[in-house]
Copies of this chain bind each other. A is one copy, B any other.
């Protein structure tokens, strides 16, 4: 039986940069406190998703105001940038949670972190190769259809 994994998540419906991440307003300098809706703007993640990430341990403890509202810092935004990139390349959420745990545990987990990222890098490289090989098939098929179309057009001109 094939063991399947679900993977890349591709945000749509907004301008994207070359990495496919949404391009929101740039973070202002000189601030270190952001509401959840500001973070939604910056990261393109939904507020639901941000809260869910925190619940499952994918966020390194977010500050709160005295009334319990979240205040994200620049560090949090940096972390979310990394998480978004890893998600985009199909790293399962469970693996990212593991990585977040290792980060919380301190510098003695450097080797394990390195290992985790190296394994993922291999995965990404493999996927790039897969995609490229499919690109060849796609090119071939598209050429066939384009040829057929051009032949039909010539036919039409003549007839």
Contact = CB atoms under 8 A, between A and B. Distances in A.
Interface in A74-89: 82, 85-86, 88-89
A141 interface: yes
Chain A interface mostly: helix
Contacts of A94: none
B4 A6 contact: no
A91 to B, nearest CB: 9
Given A114-B145, A148-B110, A149-B114, A134 B4 contact: no
Given A9-B7, A10-B7, A114-B142, A18 B121 contact: no
Contact of A126 (B7, B20, B145): B20
A80 to B, nearest CB: 13
